[in-house]
Amino acid sequence: MNIVVYERRSSEAIEDFSKAVTDTELRYYASSLMDLGIGSMDEIQGAIGRAMQICSTLHVPARSHFKVIYLYKNGTLITDWRLSEMARKLVLLNADPANPVVAKIQLRLLNGL
């Protein structure tokens, strides 16, 4: 039998690997929701906040579903988010229902359940 002794740095490597695996699940950009007609980035930020509150309430680790990113576009630094599929759906469910596009998407999401 072999005994393997792991140094503390090993746990850091495992944590880095875990983050990399989680990142592969963050397939969506919050800003892409504007292409669907979901309003402004400010409105999407509000929906993200509510979606993250849902995760917190249910003890779901938000870091597994939401990741803030910074992009440099046209000489300006902008904030965006990478989202998992679950996070994207939560954001859509928490977007402004007065927007007809949002209302249609919410109904489609609910009919899919």
Classify residue 1: in a domain, yes or no: no
Classify residue 57: in a domain, yes or no: yes
Classify residue 98: in a domain, yes or no: yes
Lowest mean pLDDT among 15-24, 32-41, 74-83, 99-108: 15-24
Of 20 and 42, the structure prediction assigns the larger pLDDT to 42
| Confidence (pLDDT) at 39 | 82
Q: What is the pLDDT of residues 5-26, one digit of tens each?
A: 555 566 777 776 766 667 788 9
Gyration radius of the chain over CA positions? 18
Classify residue 36: in a domain, yes or no: yes
Cα gap 81→69, rounded to integer Å: 5
Classify residue 90: in a domain, yes or no: yes
Count how many domains the chain has: 1
Classify residue 83: in a domain, yes or no: yes
Classify residue 75: in a domain, yes or no: yes
| Confidence (pLDDT) at 50 | 97
pTM of the model: 0.79
Contact 69, 58 (CB under 8 A): no
- Report, in this order, helix, strand and coil percent for the chain, each rounded to 5: 55, 15, 30
Classify residue 22: in a domain, yes or no: no
Task: Say what the alpha-carbon torsion angle 53, 93, 67, 30 is, to the nearest 10 degrees.
Answer: -140
| Confidence (pLDDT) at 10 | 63
